[in-house]
Amino acid sequence: MYSYFIRRFLLMIPTFIGITFLCFTVTRFVPGGPVEQAVLRYQQAMAMGGEGGGGTSNTEMEQGQISDEMMESLKAIYGFDKPFYIAYGHWLWRVLHFDLGTSDTYSRPVWDLIKEKFPISIIFGLSGFLLSYLICIPLGVWKAVKHGSAFDTGSSVLVFIAYSIPGWTAGVLLLMLLGGNAFLDIVPSGGKESGTILEGSKLAMFLQKGALVADLPEAISKEFPKLEKNQTINSSHPAFKHVPADKRFNLKKGSHSDLNIIGRTLDTMWHMILPVFCYVLGMFASSTVLMKNSLMENLGQDYVRTAFAKGLSERVVIFKHALRNSLIPIATGLGHMLSIILAGSYLIEKVFNINGFGLLGYDSLIARDYPVTLGILVIGSMLKLFGNIVSDFLYCLIDPRIRFS
């Protein structure tokens, strides 16, 4: 078994090189890259600058033309001055040294951008993944036990309808119905937290105590030079403890950061309702069908018939014997939990304006920000490759009949 996993780890190297080389080559030849966009911005700026002048001399008509020297400089800036195979070698060498480059759009290291967005997508993706398992396993078991009944038929119709609707499409419809745009105003229209807590809202009761910066002692104000005199701070700010007790008051409005821990938790959960539902919609349908079919297959095995012949009750046979073996196909999918932050998150995060890993990849792809796009490709590829190995390991661990020798 050890030799099998060693081979799998070694095979990750050519697989990773193949994936990244193909995608890197595409970025070199696809039209509308960063060089073309820089040229277009220059020509638009020159055209706008020439609108105020009069006349149509040849010199003015030549405005916006890019010289060969300027074009070569732009190619050098964006790394397009070398053949693609040499550029790929340089890029791969930097990746091996954990350097993903600098974003053309944000002018920041790609690693910093990814580290900021990663936790947000993990919270939403992991919540949807776990919730889908909590739904699909009991539902699949009940459908197998009640196979052919009205419940099985009706739930199958709902499951396949859910399977046929992409999560992001359902998100658009639910936002229209429940987000206050057309009918009801029950859930937020997007984001991961409230930007403003209005006076009299349901979250206003969870606002912390606050104080004006002007009421701070002069010596303390000098320690926090970024604070303005008319600014309000909450009780979580380190300077708040220096405010006199008679100057403190209950905040009537504020932002997400002004809420106490209970309020912040409720606010985040409120914003997670629709996105997590859309994550679950795209995952639980196939898992439910897999759970049902796996349990029904095991219920037809000889060891189950033998257990019934010994006089064991249906509950004991199903939940003690058949269910354990039926969970093997479901449990092996846990290995792909590593890459769940990427599965369907691009469009779902775009619809709900969740500033996470998926939205970063979507915006970077649209803006032709290739350092960020390739950085996300590196993370996604490694998660997927490691997830496949973890799935094989779980399969071997759960089912003693499987050996990779």
pLDDT digits (tens, 9 = 90+) for 131-152: 888 888 899 999 998 888 999 8
pLDDT band at 313 (very low <50, low <70, confident <90, very high): confident
d(CA 383, CA 254): 39
CA–CA separation, 333 vs 395, rounded Å?
9
Q: What is the mean pLDDT of residues 239-261?
A: 88
- For residues 395 and 6, which has the higher predicted lDDT (pLDDT)? 6
26-40, 214-228, 364-378 — most confident range: 364-378
Give residue 122's identity as a one-letter amino acid code: I
Output the pLDDT for position 278: 87
Strand partners, 102: 109
Q: What residues pair up with 14 in beta bridges, in sequence order?
A: none
Tell me which amino acid residue 62 is.
E
Percentage of the residues of the chain whose pLDDT score is greater than 70: 91
304: its two tokens: 């189950």
- pLDDT digits 0-9 by tens, 149-192: 999 899 889 888 888 888 888 888 888 888 766 677 788 878 88
| Mean pLDDT along residues 358-362 | 86
Q: Encode burial over 253-274: b for 16+ CB neighbours within 10 A, e otherwise.
A: ebebebbbeebbeebeebbbeb
Residue-wise pLDDT for 331-344, tens only, equals: 777 776 666 656 55
Q: Do residues 250 and 209 touch, judged by C-beta distance below 8 A?
A: yes
3-state secondary structure the chain: CHHHHHHHHHHHHHHHHHHHHHHHHHHHHCCCCHHHHHHHHHHHHHHHHHCCCCCCCHHHHCCCCCCHHHHHHHHHHCCCCCCHHHHHHHHHHHHHCCCCCECCCCCCEHHHHHHHHHHHHHHHHHHHHHHHHHHHHHHHHHHHHCCCCHHHHHHHHHHHHHHHCCHHHHHHHHHHHHECCCCCECCCCCCCCCCCECCCCHHHHHECEEEEHHHCCHHHHHHCCCCCCCCEEECCCCCHHHCCHHHCEECCCECHHHECHHHHHHHHHHHHHHHHHHHHHHHHHHHHHHHHHHHHHHHCCHHHHHHHHCCCCHHHHHHHHHHHHHCHHHHHHHHHHHHCCCCCHHHHHHHCCCCCHHHHHHHHHHCCCHHHHHHHHHHHHHHHHHHHHHHHHHHHHHCCCCCCC
Sheet holding 232-234, edge to edge: 232-234, 209-212, 249-250
Mean pLDDT of 266-283: 86
Half-sphere exposure at residue 210, Cβ-oriented, CA atoms within 13 angstroms = 21
Band of residue 18 on the pLDDT scale cut at 50, 70, 90: very high
320's tokens: 């003690």
State the CB neighbour count (10 A cutoff) for residue 118: 15
Domain assignments of the chain as residue spans, ordered by start: 2-96, 110-186+277-398
Average pLDDT over residues 21-26: 91
pLDDT, residue 180, reads: 65
Beta-carbon count within 10 A of 94 CB: 12
Q: What band does 308 get if pLDDT is binned at 50, 70 and 90? A: confident
Query: Mean pLDDT, the chain, as a whole number?
Result: 83
Strands 209-212 and 232-234: antiparallel
* pLDDT tens for each residue of 40-91: 777 777 777 655 554 444 444 345 567 777 777 877 877 787 888 888 999 9
Contact 131, 276 (CB under 8 A): yes
Residues β-bridged to residue 210: 234, 249
- Give the pLDDT confidence score for residue 57 in this predicted structure: 44
What pLDDT, on a 0 to 100 scale, did the predictor assign at position 339? 67
Higher pLDDT, 96 or 80: 96
Of 34, 119, 129, 117, give the one whose Cα is nearest residue 74. 34
Is the pTM higher than 0.85? The answer reads no
Q: Is the pLDDT of residue 282 over 80?
A: no
- Give the C-alpha separation, 183 to 287, whole Å: 33
pLDDT above 50 (res 382): yes
Q: How far is it, in rounded angstroms, from Cα 288 to Cα 281?
A: 11
Enumerate the β-bridge partners of residue 109: 102
pLDDT of residue 262: 92
For residue 238, pLDDT beyond 80:
yes
- The CATH-assigned architecture of domain 110-186+277-398 is Orthogonal Bundle (1.10)
CB 359 within 8 A of CB 350: yes
Whether residue 351 contacts residue 277, with contact meaning beta carbons closer than 8 Å, is answered with no
Return the pLDDT at 287: 84
Query: What number is the average pLDDT over the span 214-235?
Result: 85
Half-sphere exposure of 51 (CA within 13 A, CB side): 5
